[in-house]
Amino acid sequence: MRSTSIYEIDAYLRIAHPDDPKRVVLKPRLIEMLKDYIKTAHPADSRVADFQQKIALLRKKSSTRISYEEMSEIIRQKQIAKYKEELNSNSFASVQGGGSVPQSTDAGSFSGYSSIATLDAAEQEEFALLMSTSPVEHKNKTVKILNSLFDNDPNSKESIVLIENKSDCNMIIRIDGIGNFKYRLAIPSRAENSIVVQKGDYLFTSKVCGAQYASQKTIQKAIMVSLDNPGK
C-alpha cells in the first residue's frame, strides 16, 4: 500500500482479486503516478506510449492486465496501421473489410549456438535478393497482407505469417510445406516482415545469429512468430 513504484503497483493490480478493497486506493494512485511520469518524460522515452496505454486501460477497467484476444487485436491494429501508411504514402489501392486476429506462437528450438554470428556470404547474397523488391512487387505484397489481416472468411485458403526479429542479426526464415508450398522471408535485425501463405502444416527453419532454429507449425489463421537472440 505504501509502494511508490509504478511497476510494483501495476503488478499487484494485475493479479489481485477483482473485489480486493486495495484496488480503490491503488488504481487512482497508479493513474496519477503514470501521468506524473509522462509530464516530465523525455520526448524519445519509449515508455511513454506504454504508460499512456496503461492509463487508457485503467480508465476502462480495474487493471492493465489484458486478455490474449485483446493483445492479438492490438497486434492486428498495429499491423493494419503500418501497412495502410505504406499504401497511403504511395497512393496505392484500397483493401477489403473484415477482421482476422494474429495468434502469438512459441519460438521453436535452437541448437548449435556459440556466439553472435552474421549470415555467411551465400546467405547475405540471398538476403539482399529477397529484400530488393520492386515498387510494384512491394505494393502488391502490401495489399495482399492487408487483405489477409482484414479477411474474416473461415473458408479462405490463405493466412498471414508475421515474423518479428528481435535478434542482433539479419535472418532468412524458410517455411516449407507439402509439395510446392515453400516460402522464404528476409527479416532485418530488430525489424519484422510478413508473408501470406497457403494454410497447412509447415516446418519453419532459420539460422539466428549462427544458431539453427526449427519449429513445426500448423497455420489455419494468422500467426506471429517472435525470435530473439539464442539463449533469451
Mean pLDDT computed over every residue of the chain: 82
Give pTM, 2 decimals: 0.59
Please report which confidence band the pLDDT of residue 68 belongs to, taking 50, 70 and 90 as the band edges: low
Q: What was the pLDDT predicted at 49?
A: 87
Strand order in the sheet with 103-104: 103-104, 223-227, 158-165, 191-198
Please report which confidence band the pLDDT of residue 170 belongs to, taking 50, 70 and 90 as the band edges: very high
Q: What was the pLDDT predicted at 117?
A: 61
pLDDT at 200 over 60: yes
pLDDT at 79 over 80: no
pLDDT at 168 over 50: yes
Q: What was the pLDDT predicted at 36?
A: 94
Q: What are the tens digits of pLDDT across the range 91-142?
A: 444 445 555 445 555 556 656 544 456 788 889 999 999 888 777 787 788 7
